[in-house]
Structure 1
Amino acid sequence: MKKIFFIFAIALFAPNSFFAQTKTEAKNIFANSYDNVNDFEKILNPNQVKTLNGTLKSFETKTGKKIIVVTISSTPSYRDLSNYSEDLHRYLNIGLKIEPSILFVISKDLRQIQILGDNKISDKLSNQEIENIVNTFVVPELKKGDYYKGLETGTAQIIKKLE
C-alpha cells in the first residue's frame, strides 16, 4: 500500500516540476539597461526618441521622479501586456534598481497600453486620473496613427500632474 501511494505521489507531482516556469527565466526577456524612452517596437523615429527622452530626463532632474516609456511588439511568454508590465516594473525596481515613478508600456501590434505608477505618487496622480489621461490624450492620437504625439501629450499631462 505504501509503494502504491509513493508511486502515485511521484506521478502526481513530478510533471509539475518538469513543466513549471520560473521567474528567473522570465527576467531573461528584459533588456539589461533601460533609458527613459525604449522603442523596441521601432514606432518612433530617432529624432522623436531623442526629443521625448530629453523631456523626460529634464523632468527627472527637476523633480527626482523617473518616467520610463517602453514600446514592444509582443509579450513573449506572457498572456497579456498587464502581466508583462508588472514583471517589467518589478525587474526595473529590484533587478536594475531604477525605481520608475511611472512605467508607460505601449504596443502598436497588440493595440494595448499599460501605465503603472509607483505608490509614492498616488497622492498626486490616482489610477482614475491616469485612465482619464490615456482616454483623453493618448488614445485619440494612437487612433490617428500618431504614436509620438500620443506619447508626448500623455507624458506631458502626467508631468503636469506630478509637478
Structure 2
Amino acid sequence: MTYKFEVMTQDQAEDISYNWHYEGEYSFYDMEADEEDLQEFVDPELRGDTKFAVMKNSELIGFFSVNKVDNLTYDIGLGMRPDLTNRGMGLDFLKAGLAFVKNVYNPRKITLSVATFNQRAIKVYRKLGFRDVNTFMQDTNASTFEFLKMEYER
C-alpha cells in the first residue's frame, strides 16, 4: 500500500471535520464532538502546517498531525476515515505514518495519547513498538476522560 502525505487543505479539513462520523463509542473521535478540536482543524491559522492529509490512490483516507515537543521528540495524532476503521488496515496506516514522521522530522522519540477505552488502537500501537508511559485525565468532549500516553523510540 502506498500512502501519500500532504499538508492538509481547507477542503480536506472541512471534509474530515464535518463529514467523518464514527460508530458507537468511537463517535468520541468526531471532530464536532469537541469545539476546540474542531477549531484546530478548520481554522487555517491554528492548523498551520502540522496536519497532513493521508492519500491513497488520490483518495483521502486519513490524517496525521505532527507537533514538535522538543528537539528530539514529536507528538502525533491520527485518524482513519470511519468506513475504513476496524478492517485490519491500521497497522499499515500507522507504519506509513511513522515512516513519514521519521523521514521528515528525524525524531528520537515519537509520542501519542489515546483514550483508554480505544483498545483496538492501543493494540496496534503496541504491536509497532509503542510502550505505555502513563495515564492521565483530560477534559474534552464536554467531560473528563482517561488517556494513555505512549512513546516509541527509534
User: Shorter chain as normaliser: what TM range?
Assistant: 0.3 to 0.5
Larger radius of gyration: 1
Name the structure where strand makes up a greater proportion of residues. 2
